[in-house]
C-alpha cells in the first residue's frame, strides 16, 4: 500500500538517541492512532500510528498503517517509493503485488512481502476478488460479497549506506515460528526469542506477530527500543492497559517484557536500535533533504506518458499490466503538489 493521503505533509524525523525517545530505560507511552482518509474512487480509511510528532520512528520503523477489517476492495495503482523498505503483512484477504522489478505475486495472511525501494521503485496493489467478480453478471445481480480485507503496511527506513541501492523484492511464505510459556510468535523480520526471519533487512530490527493469553514474559534485546500494537484482545504492561488502537512505546533497556494478556490476544512487536539519522518523509519518499524529495517527485512526474521502453529505463521503472487497455487497473497515481515552505526539524516528546 502507498501513502494515499490526499494532502500529505512533510515529516521531518529527528535522529533517534541511544536511549530511545523516552531517555534511557523502559517506559510505557500510549500514542493514539489517527484516522487517515485515503484517496481514490473507493476510498478507505486507515489508522496511522507512525510517524507521530513526538515519536517519528521506533528503531528503523518509520511508518505503520492498519487497515480494516472492512469489505472494501483495495485498488492502488502504480506509485513510487525511495529510501525505504515496504513490509506488507495481510491479516485477512489476499493482495496482488506487481512492481517495476518484475514481480507479480499474491500475498496471503501469514506471508510476508518486502520491497526494497533503494534509489527508486514503483508498484501496485489490488485486492484479489472472487472469480465471479470478473464475469459478466445480470444488472440486477449485486454479485458475491467482497472479501474481508485487514492488514498492516509498514515502512523501514534504509540507512544512508543502503538507501541508494538497486530496488529488490522478496516474498516469504513460510516464516519461522517460536513458542514459549503462554505465547506463540511468527518472526516477520529480524530475530526474536532465538529465532531469526530469512527476510533481508539493513539495520538491527525486529518485527513479530504474537498470540498469547494470561501472564507472559517475552525476551527482548535491551539495546533496542520497542513498541507494541494490539490487534485483538488486550494486554497490561507495568499495570497499564494497552487496548487495540494506540501504539504502546516501551523505550529501551528491557531484557524481558512481562505482560498479562486477555484470552486470544494478538499483537505486533516492533523494535530496533534507535535510528541515528535524520529523515525527511513526504508522500511515498524517504529522504534527507527537501531538495532530494522534490527531485524524486519531479522524476516520477516526468515519467507520465512515456512509452513503455522509456518508462522501463527511467528511475522508477515500469509496472506492467496498467496500460490504457487495463480497464479499472489502467493508469498511475500522480504525485501531490509539494508544500510551499521548507519545514524545520520537529522536537521530540
Alpha-carbon gap, residue 153 to 173, rounded angstroms: 17
pLDDT for 6 beyond 70: no
Mean per-residue pLDDT over the chain, rounded: 89
Per-residue b/e over 292-306, b at no fewer than 16 CB within 10 Å? ebeebbebbeebeee
pLDDT for 323 beyond 80: yes
pTM: 0.90
Alpha-carbon gap, residue 288 to 305, rounded angstroms: 29
Q: What is the pLDDT of residue 84?
A: 98
Q: What is the pLDDT of residue 346?
A: 45
Which three three-digit cell numbers place residue 20? 530511545
Q: What is the pLDDT of residue 39?
A: 55
Question: pLDDT tens, 167-181?
Answer: 999 999 999 999 999
Q: What is the pLDDT of residue 72?
A: 84
Amino acid at each position: 500500500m502507498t501513502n494515499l493521503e490526499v494532502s500529505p505533509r512533510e515529516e521531518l524525523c529527528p535522529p533517534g538517541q541511544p536511549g530511545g525517545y523516552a531517555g534511557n530505560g523502559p517506559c510505557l507511552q500510549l500514542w493514539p492512532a489517527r484516522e487517515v482518509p485515503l484517496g481514490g474512487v473507493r476510498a478507505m480509511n486507515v489508522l496511522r500510528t507512525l510517524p507521530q510528532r513526538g515519536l517519528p520512528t521506533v528503531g528503523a520503523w518509520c511508518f505503520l498503517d492498519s487497515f480494516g477489517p472492512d469489505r472494501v476492495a483495495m485498488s492502488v495503482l502504480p506509485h513510487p517509493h525511495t529510501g525505504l523498505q515496504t513490509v506488507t503483512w495481510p491479516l485477512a484477504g489476499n493482495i496482488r503485488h506487481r512492481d517495476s522489478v518484475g514481480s507479480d505475486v499474491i500475498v496471503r495472511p501469514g506471508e510476508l512481502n518486502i520491497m526494497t525501494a533503494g534509489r527508486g521503485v514503483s508498484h501496485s496493489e489490488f485486492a484479489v476478488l472472487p472469480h465471479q467478480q470478473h464475469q459478466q453478471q445480470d444488472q440486477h445481480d449485486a454479485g458475491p460479497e467482497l472479501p474481508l480485507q485487514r492488514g498492516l503496511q509498514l515502512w523501514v527506513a534504509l540507512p544512508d549506506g543502503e538507501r541508494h541501492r538497486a530496488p529488490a523484492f522478496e516474498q516469504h511464505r513460510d516464516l519461522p515460528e517460536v513458542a514459549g510459556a503462554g505465547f506463540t510468535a511468527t518472526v516477520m523480520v529480524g530475530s526474536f526469542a532465538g529465532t531469526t526471519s530469512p527476510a533481508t533487512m539493513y539495520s538491527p530490527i525486529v518485527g513479530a506477530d504474537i498470540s498469547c493469553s494470561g501472564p507472559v514474559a517475552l525476551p527482548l534485546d535491551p539495546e533496542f527500543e520497542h513498541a507494541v500494537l494490539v490487534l485483538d484482545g488486550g494486554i497490561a504492561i507495568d499495570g497499564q492497559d494497552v487496548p487495540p488502537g494506540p501504539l504502546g512505546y516501551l523505550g529501551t533497556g528491557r531484557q524481558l517484557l512481562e505482560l498479562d494478556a486477555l484470552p486470544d490476544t494478538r499483537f505486533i512487536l516492533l523494535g530496533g536500535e534507535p535510528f541515528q539519522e535524520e529523515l525527511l518523509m513526504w508522500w511515498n519518499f524517504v529522504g534527507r533533504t527537501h531538495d532530494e524529495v522534490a527531485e524524486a517527485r519531479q522524476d516520477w512526474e516526468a515519467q507520465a506518458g512515456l512509452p513503455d521502453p522509456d518508462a522501463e529505463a527511467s528511475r522508477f521503472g515500469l509496472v506492467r499490466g496498467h496500460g490504457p487497455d487495463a480497464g479499472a487497473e489502467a493508469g498511475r497515481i500522480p504525485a501531490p503538489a509539494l508544500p510551499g515552505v521548507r519545514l524545520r526539524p520537529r522536537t521530540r516528546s
